[in-house]
Amino acid sequence: MSDDDFEQPPIQTLPLDAWHRAKGGRMVEFAGYHMPVQYEGIMAEHLWTRESAGLFDVSHMGQLTFTGENVVPALEALMPADIAGLAFNRARYSLLLDAAGGILDDLMLTRQAEDRVYMVVNGATKYDDIAHMIEHLPDDVTLNLMDDQALLALQGPKAVDAMARVVPGVDALVFMQAAAFEWQGHDLWISRSGYTGEDGFEISVPAEAAGALADALTAQPEVKPIGLGARDSLRLEAGLPLYGHDLSPETTPVMADLGFALFKRRREEANFPGAERILPERENGPVAKRVGLLVDGRQPVREGASVLDADGSDVGKVTSGGFAPTVGAPIAMAYVPAALAAPGTRIQLTQRGKVHDATVAAMPFVPHRYFRGVK
C-alpha cells in the first residue's frame, strides 16, 4: 500500500461512522460510503418510525450553497422551479434537467436570502450534479459543497416532541420551512421536511458536532436510530421516487408523475431545460408513466421485473418494489404505458419466470402526515 495507490477509490466514511457501529448498525456500501442498512431490523425500524420517531443519517447527500447576485435566474435556467417566487427560508422540491428534459437528479432547495440558495442533492449523483452545474452556471455564481457538514433526518409523528426538547423553537416551523438554530454553540440549519411521508426535520450540523447531536436526539425516549433499509421502505410507501431507480435521464417530470414540480410561471415562460418536449407531453399525456402497484399475494416484486400487457408482451419495468411493512403487503412502483396507468387497472408482472398479478394504485400507499400548520 502506498499513498499514491488510488486506482480503486476507497469506500469513504462519514462523520457518524463510529457512532453507527457503536449502536450496532450493520454497515454496507451505499453511494460510495459505509452506511448503516439496519440496527435491530428493517421491519421494526420502519414501524417505529411510523408510530414514534426515527433518526436517519443522510450525510452522504450533497449539501450545496449557491451565492451571487444572479443566483435565482442562474438556477432557474437548470430546473423548472419558481425560485424567484419562493419566500426566504421556504423549501421546494425540484429536478435538475438535461437539455432533453431528462432528469439528472431530484433535489430540495431553500432560498436563504436574496443572493443565497441552499440545496440538498442525492449522494450518488452529487459529483455529477456539481460538474453539470459548474458547466452551466455563470461565473458570478459561486457553488460551495459543504462537505464539512453532516445531515440528519428525524422523522415520525413524535419527531416534533423530541426535536423541540433538544432544540427549542423548531416546533414553530411548518412543512417545507427552514431556519437557523443554535445548539450548544453550534450552528444548525433545520428544515421541516423529509422523505418518509411523516412529519419531521432535516438537520444540517457541523461534522464535529454530529455525534453529540445524534446522542442528544437518540437520548429522547421517542427516538431510535434507523438504517437505510427502512428509509427505502418508508419512502416507497410514501410514493416518493428514488433517483437512480424510479428517476433517470430516460424519464421526464411528466413521465415520473412529478408535474407539480413544473411551476406555473415557468410553464408560461417555457424556458427550463427540455421545455419544448415536456410542455407538449404535459398537455397530451406521456407515453409511459410512473404508477404505484399493489401486488397480489405475499411475494415481493422488485426492481427489474417486467410489466406485461394483456397479450403477454413486455411493456414496462418495475423500478422499485418490496414488502411494505405498514401496508402489510408487497407494493411497487413501475413505468407502464398510458393505457394501463389508471388506478384500478389489473396488470401482470413477471419476475424470475413467475407471473404476479397486481393492481395499479394511487400513491401514496400510506397517507402523508406533514405538518402544515395549526388550522
Partner 1 sequence: MSRYFSEDHEWIDVDGETGTVGITDYAQGQLGDIVFVEVPDEGKALSKGDDAAVVESVKAASDVYSPVSGTVIEGNAALADDPSLVNSDPEGEGWFFKITLSDAAELDGLMDEAAYEAFVARL
Which of 63-71, 75-83, 196-204, 322-330 is the region at the interface with partner 1 (rule: CB under 8 A)? 322-330
User: Rounded to the nearest 5°, which phi and psi values hold at 171?
Assistant: -70, -10
In terms of CB distance, is 37 or 145 closer to partner 1?
A: 37
Is residue 353 near partner 1 by the rule CB under 8 A?
no
CB 26 within 8 A of CB 39: yes
**3-state DSSP of 275-321:** HHHHHHHHHHCCCEEEEEEEECCCCCCCCCCEEECCCCCEEEEEEEE
Is residue 156 near partner 1 by the rule CB under 8 A?
no
Is residue 322 near partner 1 by the rule CB under 8 A?
yes
Is residue 56 near partner 1 by the rule CB under 8 A?
no
User: Rounded to the nearest 5°, which phi and psi values hold at 215?
Assistant: -65, -45
Q: Give me the amino acid identity at 149.
A: Q
Is residue 323 near partner 1 by the rule CB under 8 A?
yes
Is residue 299 near partner 1 by the rule CB under 8 A?
yes
Residue holding cell 450540523?
205
In terms of CB distance, is 81 or 331 closer to partner 1?
A: 331
Is residue 298 near partner 1 by the rule CB under 8 A?
yes
Strand-strand pairing, 116-121 and 142-145: unpaired
Is residue 318 near partner 1 by the rule CB under 8 A?
no
Residue holding cell 408560461?
268
Please report, in angstroms and rounded to a whole number, the separation of the first and last CA atoms in the chain: 62
Single out the residue of 336, 335, 322 nearest to residue 365, CA to CA.
Answer: 322
CB 145 within 8 A of CB 36: no
Is residue 37 near partner 1 by the rule CB under 8 A?
yes
Which of 37-45, 94-102, 239-247, 364-372 is the region at the interface with partner 1 (rule: CB under 8 A)? 37-45
* Percent of the chain as helix, strand, coil, to the nearest 5: 25, 35, 40
In terms of CB distance, is 37 or 216 closer to partner 1?
A: 37
CB of 247 to partner 1, least distance (A): 21
Is residue 321 near partner 1 by the rule CB under 8 A?
no
Could you give the CA distance from residue 135 to residue 53 in angstroms, rounded to a whole number? Answer: 40
Is residue 302 near partner 1 by the rule CB under 8 A?
yes
Is residue 331 near partner 1 by the rule CB under 8 A?
no
Is residue 259 near partner 1 by the rule CB under 8 A?
no
Beta bridge partners of 113: 116
In terms of CB distance, is 239 or 274 closer to partner 1?
A: 239
CB 371 within 8 A of CB 352: no
Q: Which of 59, 112, 218, 233 binds partner 1 (CB under 8 A)?
A: 233
Is residue 196 near partner 1 by the rule CB under 8 A?
no
Is residue 42 near partner 1 by the rule CB under 8 A?
yes
Q: Which of 229, 241, 274, 286 binds partner 1 (CB under 8 A)?
A: 229
In terms of CB distance, is 38 or 196 closer to partner 1?
A: 38
Could you give the CA distance from residue 17 to residue 13 in angstroms, rounded to a whole number? Answer: 6
CB of 33 to partner 1, least distance (A): 18
Is residue 38 near partner 1 by the rule CB under 8 A?
yes
Peptide bond preceding 364 in cis form (omega within 30 of 0): yes
Residue holding cell 415520525?
156
In terms of CB distance, is 80 or 322 closer to partner 1?
A: 322
Residues of this chain that bind partner 1 (CB under 8 A)? 37-38, 41-44, 46, 229, 233, 298-300, 302, 322-323, 325, 330, 352
